[in-house]
Amino acid sequence: MLAKLAVIVILLIIIGSLFSGMFFMLRDRGQSTRTVKALTVRIALSLILFALLMIGYWVGILHPHDLLPPHH
């Protein structure tokens, strides 16, 4: 349960970084590097989240589910 909560929190932070990048892009009109920094943070968090998902699957903390029931 803690792993799922961590994934959701990181996703919310990623979305917040995306919106802050949009805000800085509209407000600064290309006069500062805040947009690039916000989007760099978003990319870094996305890569970290991907790595954590892969590690969580590898160690058995996270389990994928199928949309279709298993065939017996």
Q: What is the pLDDT of residues 12-40, one digit of tens each?
A: 999 999 999 999 888 988 788 888 999 99
The answer to whether the CB of 62 falls within 8 A of the CB of 53 is yes
Write phi, then psi, for 69 (nearest 5 degrees). Answer: -70, 155
Q: Is the pTM of this model over 0.85?
A: no
Residues in the chain: 72
Which pair of structure tokens corresponds to residue 16?
A: 């917040």
The pLDDT of residue 72 is 63
The pLDDT of residue 33 is 87
